[in-house]
Structure 1
Amino acid sequence: MSGSATLPASLILVGAGKMGGAMLEGWLADGLPGARVAVIDPNPSAAMVELCRAHGVSLNPAAPAEPEALVLAIKPQGLEAAAEGLAPLAGPGTVVVSVLAGKTVANLKDRLPRARAVVRAMPNLPASIRRGATGAAASPETSEEQRRTAHALLASNGHVEWLESEDLIDAVTAVSGSGPAYVFLLAETLAAAGVAAGLPPDVAARLARQTVAGAGELLGQSPEEPGSLRQNVTSPGGTTAAALGVLMAEDGLGPLMRDAVAAAKRRAGELAG
């Protein structure tokens, strides 16, 4: 993406739950003045009320003006009920950024008929600690400047990949959207295997947890490819090589992961209708 990413001059966040709240915290940490932001949420948590108060963010304003950016972070099933109230806020000059799973650009334009620039994004759970991975796709009407604005909003919570086509969102959902659960399962099963090998359950759990966390941090910081890092810790004929002989067998982790991602992608398509 060419040019620098800039946070918008005016922003309305709709939905301040876990994901919306994490995004707001990221924007504020990146220097977005609270006076530029309005939050719409009928049932904000006490923590959100305090965050808005501390930073001068307008919470549930009576008559918000049409913003430069409108971020939708409500539950997908809540879009229908909220659309009537949101439609006046999404004007031709507004970039709409949606993190609603399963809601396509066409779905959003149907419910926000004045909107032209729409960005559909799929973040994942580590966005809550600003280490997320997000895939994003923009409608053709989205200008380069609006893409930069959307990028700045999404990048506040981690890495952003821009997709050539919205059709790839389901694959993103299957890889990075659902991916943290796969990693958590790895920690679970590694701990269980440690118990089966004779370790006390609490020791196995701590070792597995720190191993996955530490390896992830190393992967994030190292310029080397995952395959190279794997080879670096695999001595020929050693213990790691013996374990990898099982995991990398024809019926091992590779085909299981392909089947898992394919199942998640298929289900994402079904949920999108």
Structure 2
Amino acid sequence: MKMNELSLVLVGAGKMGGAMLTGWLDMDLEAKNVTVIDPGQPEDMKALADKCGFSLVSSPEAVTQPDILVIAVKPQMMAKVLPGLTGLVGPKTVVVSVAAGTPIATFQSYFGADTGVARVMPNTPAQVGRGMFAAFASEGVSAEMCEAIAELLSSTGEFTWVGEEALIDAVTAVSGSGPAYVFYMVEALAKAGEALGLAPDAANLMARQTIVGAGELLHQSPLSASTLRENVTSPGGTTAAALAVLMAEEGGLGELLAKATVAARDRSIELSK
């Protein structure tokens, strides 16, 4: 299906919904074929609708059944929101959810067991076009529609499919929650700099820019992360001394991240029950 022929309804125009919408409008997706449903009617979204030409409504009444229904509301709002969306799901409508912890079975319990559903885990860097999206699609989603979904979600970052729904919990642990790990690394590195005698402002600037710069280098370089690490590390030098601590088999960063991602995955599983 061509992007300019695709009809799409987005439910929820918060940070993630708004980020995805911005990416879609920069594609070949026709703004006139897009409807955004948001009871809050935020002023910035009103201004964007006036500028770009998509429809912004406060409720699903009178909205026609789209090819794709994207649900971008918080998981705790699902029980309140989903009953009002049943009229938007037709025989050919595919439901795309970017809400953490809500399984495909929940959507099919409202919209019908044969409804095609793609469960997506995004992350917050999508707000600056550097997002990571991973998804699993139920049997009711055609290959053509999978291609369309992948193209839509790639508009604000990178995209990949996973082979089973249970792996969405692993995706949550790695990329969904992952930005928080990086932000905490900035905090920890800045505090370590202060402990070495640097002024707080200088330590924070150094830590923040080091992570930002390393991330951009990783983004632009064709080299692997391990090769980039090795390129920074001189044998017997200062970086090697630090990495000996970070890469220790016991108590090192690798072990901590393994424990952290298991904890995040297990909590994701708990929240989906």
Band the TM-score falls in, shorter-chain normalisation: over 0.9
Q: 1:8 to 1:191 in 2, by over 3 A?
A: farther
Q: Deviations over 1:33-60 (max 9, x none)?
A: 2101001110021101111111111111
The answer to whether the Cα contact below 8 Å between 1:92 and 1:114 also exists between their aligned partners in 2 is: no
The unaligned stretches of length 5 or more in structure 2 are none
Task: Return the alpha-carbon distance in structure 2 between the equivalents of residues 129 and 114 of structure 1.
Answer: 36
> Structure 1 residues 50-59 or 258-267, which shifts more?
50-59
Look up the match of 1:44.
41
The unaligned stretches of length 5 or more in structure 1 are none
Look up the match of 1:30.
27
Aligned-pair CA distance for 1:7 = 6.1
The answer to whether the Cα contact below 8 Å between 2:4 and 2:30 also exists between their aligned partners in 1 is: no
- Within 5 A, what are the aligned runs for 1:111-130? 111-113=110-112, 116-130=115-129
- Within 5 A, what are the aligned runs for 1:72-151? 72-113=71-112, 116-151=115-150
Aligned-pair CA distance for 1:181 = 0.3
Aligned-pair CA distance for 1:115 = 5.7
The reply on whether 1:19 has 2:13 as its aligned counterpart is: no
Structure 1 runs of 4+ with >3 Å offset:
4-8
Aligned partner of residue 135 in structure 1, secondary structure: strand
Task: Return the alpha-carbon distance in structure 2 between the equivalents of residues 20 and 271 of structure 1.
Answer: 21
The answer to whether the Cα contact below 8 Å between 1:87 and 1:113 also exists between their aligned partners in 2 is: no
TM-score, normalisation: structure 2: 0.96
Look up the match of 2:266.
266
Look up the match of 1:205.
204
Aligned partner of residue 166 in structure 2, secondary structure: helix
Aligned partner of residue 39 in structure 1, secondary structure: strand
Q: 1:84 to 1:218 in 2, by over 3 A?
A: same
Identity of aligned residues (%): 53
Task: Return the alpha-carbon distance in structure 2 between the equivalents of residues 143 and 32 of structure 1.
Answer: 19
Q: Deviations over 1:195-254 (max 9, x none)?
A: 111111101100110000000011111111111110000000000000001111121101
The answer to whether the Cα contact below 8 Å between 1:12 and 1:38 also exists between their aligned partners in 2 is: yes
Q: 1:115 to 1:131 in 2, by over 3 A?
A: farther
Matched residue count: 270
Q: 1:8 to 1:113 in 2, by over 3 A?
A: farther
Task: Return the alpha-carbon distance in structure 1 between the equivalents of residues 5 and 145 of structure 2.
Answer: 9
Query: Which residue type is aligned with residue 265 of structure 2?
Result: K
The answer to whether the Cα contact below 8 Å between 1:122 and 1:172 also exists between their aligned partners in 2 is: yes
Task: Return the alpha-carbon distance in structure 2 between the equivalents of residues 247 and 8 of structure 1.
Answer: 51
Look up the match of 1:195.
194
Task: Return the alpha-carbon distance in structure 2 between the equivalents of residues 271 and 85 of structure 1.
Answer: 23
Query: Which residue type is aligned with residue 151 of structure 1?
Result: A
Query: What root-mean-square deviation, in Å, do the aligned CA atoms of Structure 1 and Structure 2 show?
Result: 1.4
Task: Return the alpha-carbon distance in structure 1 between the equivalents of residues 271 and 61 of structure 2.
Answer: 34
The answer to whether the Cα contact below 8 Å between 1:127 and 1:158 also exists between their aligned partners in 2 is: yes
The reply on whether 1:66 has 2:65 as its aligned counterpart is: yes
Task: Return the alpha-carbon distance in structure 1 between the equivalents of residues 144 and 123 of structure 2.
Answer: 25
